[in-house]
Chain A
């Protein structure tokens, strides 16, 4: 039987098992919105800005493992999602984003709220298409969900002209889809894998580098089994955090720009680097010529294009992390790595990851208190210093999940991502670790948090600066704090070199902000207050809690490797 496009839209979502979508209305999606009104199986979450909307869908997708679905109108509604599309593309988050579009007959006329959103997002989506014929609608939606969730996941954009929504046509939604140009890799090349295994087996100083691909492939258990069978130490990337439990005896820590000293030295000194699901981006490698200079490199990745792009590898293997590790576990035998593990332990003792304890409340103290307070939970971050501290000091693995904007580095991501996670996993505590800069980029979402009943805990690290850039200015730019002081006003001297008594007051007052929305606010200034604040926030089930931690402006993220220099050359103090 023929039905309208808008009816087929809802039918398709139901067939795909969608129970929640993140939508913001507008002229060109009013028809499908009207159709959503008539049903109550799909929950529509109404954010307060489309950028936050798509970050919410990302958080939801990451926390639940389902595809995040967005629905926005044409023009500005669509362009506001661009940052989130790029973010999801970079971090491989499965999304299907529907954008309204002016009727087909008006496309190209500079109609009101018309933009070529497919053209604009071509390089930041896995696939994007305008529906030009009502008969293709079902097939296109089917394709979109298939492409978004298979292979290396990613965002797919479907541009829906208004007349496609209202036209009648085939009411069936296809069960299967066959795309001749899209065949995600499903097997493992056993020969290559054997070669890699032999290399690892023969190594004297073997090291596993686990990236986000281990988590995307849900291969944590298999990785742990492999590590324990082989007795090989592991470092992770930021996106790989949680691939192995933080307290695991073979886990060293994060490698990379703000990685643990012992982890980066181990990468530089290992003779076989066995990497799984990482793209070797510049934050992991530093100076490419000096990266793992003594090592033969094995690289397992589901994406052929990720292999031998940045780092030339000795054994490339295109495979899903889980399948590859399952196969490896059939062969794995213990190695004698005692001396090597001991050496790594010595490096770690030489320069442990630790902040000074004689200067009042530090980020380390706050993050350790979070470790102690929460077991099963989801933690999101924004981008900047607090994010790097979170990657250094938070302990993940098991039921503790970490969601961060690792590739694109999107400020404003943390709070909406936390809301999406809470909407998807209301059973878990969801904590957003954010800075005073990033939080202000999407703090209008406090309304969404209240209206959608998403009582997240916001741990706001307030150092009154855009701290990560301030850190660079402090270390490499002669303390010329251009545009990073959030207290700065027009009355301030032009060549300010840091805080003084004469500085204008900070704004906004986050406690009053929380109050304005009916949320809770707790300001914490001393170490002794941290644990109680977390407990209190946890007890608030009715509304979000903003815990504002007043931290020192001078605190640095250390160790640090300056961009483009070797990983072994860390700034430690």
Chain B
């Protein structure tokens, strides 16, 4: 079992997301994350999907996606150079002035923006790799009383000449 990535071009129509996600639940595939948005062609949506699976199951997943009428193209991103980022908002709550200072330092080290601030809270806006976002959450959890996070799932696109995943 390891994480694998798929870029999926689908018809931008009602019910397609439900059909794709339904495949994963119906066939007990282990869906890790799924993001979707329209592309430069508004009739087409592009999904970035992460699944945890063995080789045989992954082959089957790609075939099952391919046979859907609404699926236009399946691209296996697992072993190709690409750029992959995930948006994450992390709110640190109930912090003292000293703790706020520490949040700023962390923001600097992780190279993320401070998007909002108040009397006892700081909001970080992060656009990092998934792994880096995970590390940031672990760190914030260990250092502060209460945090609140929302993350968008990774989006990925094939590289031109450099890569980052």
Contacts and interface: CB of A to CB of B under 8 A. Distances in A.
Interface of A: 118-119, 122-123, 126-130, 132, 147, 179-182, 303-305, 307-309, 312
Contacts of B26: 123
A122 B56 contact: no
A304 B14 contact: no
Contacts of B67: 303-305
Nearest to A318: B63
A181 B68 contact: yes
Given A126-B69, A304-B67, 11 more contacts: A122-B18, A122-B19, A123-B23, A129-B15, A130-B14, A180-B72, A181-B72, A304-B63, A304-B66, A305-B67, A309-B60
Contacts of B64: 305
A305 B15 CA distance: 22
B111 interface: no
19 contacts: A118-B15, A119-B18, A122-B18, A122-B19, A122-B22, A123-B22, A123-B23, A126-B69, A129-B13, A129-B15, A132-B14, A147-B69, A179-B69, A181-B68, A181-B70, A305-B60, A305-B64, A307-B63, A308-B56
Contacts of A126: 69
A143 B25 CA distance: 27
Interface of B: 10-11, 13-15, 18-19, 22-23, 26, 56, 59-60, 63-64, 66-72
A181 B71 contact: yes
A183 to B, nearest CB: 10
Contacts of B10: 181
Given A123-B26, A308-B56, A181 B69 contact: yes
Contact of A182 (B18, B23, B69): B69
Nearest to A124: B26
A179 B70 CA distance: 9
Contacts of B70: 181
A315 to B, nearest CB: 16
B71 to A, nearest CB: 5
Give 4 nearest A-B pairs by CB, closest first. A305-B63, A181-B72, A127-B69, A182-B69
A307 B70 CA distance: 21
A304 B59 CA distance: 10
A312 B56 contact: yes
B19 to A, nearest CB: 5
Nearest to A312: B56
A127 B15 CA distance: 11
Contacts of A304: 63, 66-67
A231 B58 CA distance: 38
Given A122-B19, A122-B22, A308 B59 contact: yes
A238 B59 CA distance: 28
Contacts of B72: 180-181
Contacts of B18: 119, 122
A126 B69 CA distance: 8
Contacts of A303: 67
Contacts of A307: 63
Contacts of B11: 181
B25 to A, nearest CB: 9
